[in-house]
Amino acid sequence: MFNQSINNSINGVGVGLKRELIPQIQAAFGDISIANLNFVEIAPENWIDIGGKAAKQLDWFAERYPIVCHGLCLSLGGLAPLDTKFLTQVKQFLSQYHIPLYTEHLSYSTDGYKGEQGYLYDLLPIPFTEEAVHYVAKRIRQTQDILGQRIAIENASFYVQAPISTMDELTFIKAVLTEADCLLHLDINNIYVNSVNFGFDAHEFLRGIPGERIIYAHMAGHYQQAPDLLIDTHGTDVIDPVWALLEEAYQLFGAFPTCLERDNNIPPLPVLMREVNKIADYQRHAK
Greater confidence, 230 or 219?
A: 219
Q: pLDDT band at 120, cuts 50/70/90?
A: very low
Name the least confident of 156-170, 186-200, 207-221: 156-170
| DSSP reduced 3-state for 284 | helix
Collect all residues with Cβ–Cβ distance below 8 Å to 116 and sequence separation of at least 6. Answer: 80
pLDDT at 1: 33
CATH of the domain at 218: 3.20.20.150
Q: Is the dihedral of CA 208, 147, 38, 52 positive or negative?
A: negative
Q: Per the structure, how many domains does the chain have?
A: 1
pTM of the model: 0.92
pLDDT one-digit tens code per residue, 74-114? 999 888 899 999 999 999 999 999 999 999 999 876 556 55
Strands 13-16 and 223-226: unpaired
For residue 119, pLDDT beyond 70:
no
Give the pLDDT mean for 163-188: 97
Contact assessment for residue 16 and residue 256, using Cβ atoms and an 8 Å cutoff? no
Mean pLDDT over all residues of the chain?
Answer: 92
How far is the C-alpha of 129 from the C-alpha of 211, rounded, in Å? 23
Range of the domain at 43: 4-286
pLDDT one-digit tens code per residue, 240-252? 999 999 999 999 9
Percent of the chain topping pLDDT 70? 91
